[in-house]
Amino acid sequence: MKSTSEPIPPEVATAWHEAGHAAMALALGRPVKQVSVAPNHLRLGQCKLNKGTFGPGKDGLETEILILLAGMAAEARHTGVYDVGAASQDLRVVRTLARQRAASPRQVERFERRMLDKTEHLLGDAGVWLAVTRIADELLKHTTISGRAAQHLFELAERDAERDE
């Protein structure tokens, strides 16, 4: 984790943010179409997911929330700071989805906190975190990577982490 006293260039924070989305999606079985840190008029980067089907026992709403929170959580794990402003679009969608699961505002907040804790736990897996690191590095080198490249980096990271255990 970087010291909070040294400024993190926005493209670096964005690379870690988008890599977090991609690695979490792959860890949860969602196929990734493309990951990019090329800014446009709407956002600084994007992780595009392929339309995926969820197998039996998969909670689609929870999966979507975990993927959405993984960007902010991965960026924070790298920079040491939760940038709620940079993740505001993701957080708005999380809030909308959480309202489908919880009835009262207090239940929504507790559900969101539980989902963030779960996101942080999943990112703490050695293979997943190594995948985030490798995807972020590739994004900083190439700006945009294919879903196939992200999948390859994820699989290598999982294998390398298992080997190192």
Domains of the chain: 10-164 (1.20.58.760)
For the whole model, what pTM was predicted?
Answer: 0.91
- For residue 57, pLDDT over 70 is answered with no
Mean pLDDT calculated for residue range 39-64: 79
- For residue 3, pLDDT over 50 is answered with no
Plot region of 38 (φ>0 → left; ψ -120 to 50 → alpha; else → beta) = beta
Per-residue pLDDT at 53: 57
27-41, 51-65, 70-84, 135-149: least confidently modelled range: 51-65
18-22, 51-55, 105-109, 156-160: least confidently modelled range: 51-55
Closest CA to 79 of 68, 67, 71: 71
Query: Using H for helix, E for strand and C for coil, what is the string for 54-88?
Result: CCCCCCHHHHHHHHHHHHHHHHHHHHCCCCCCCCH
Q: Are 4 and 80 within 8 A, CB to CB?
A: yes
C-alpha–C-alpha distance, residues 144 and 36, integer Å:
4
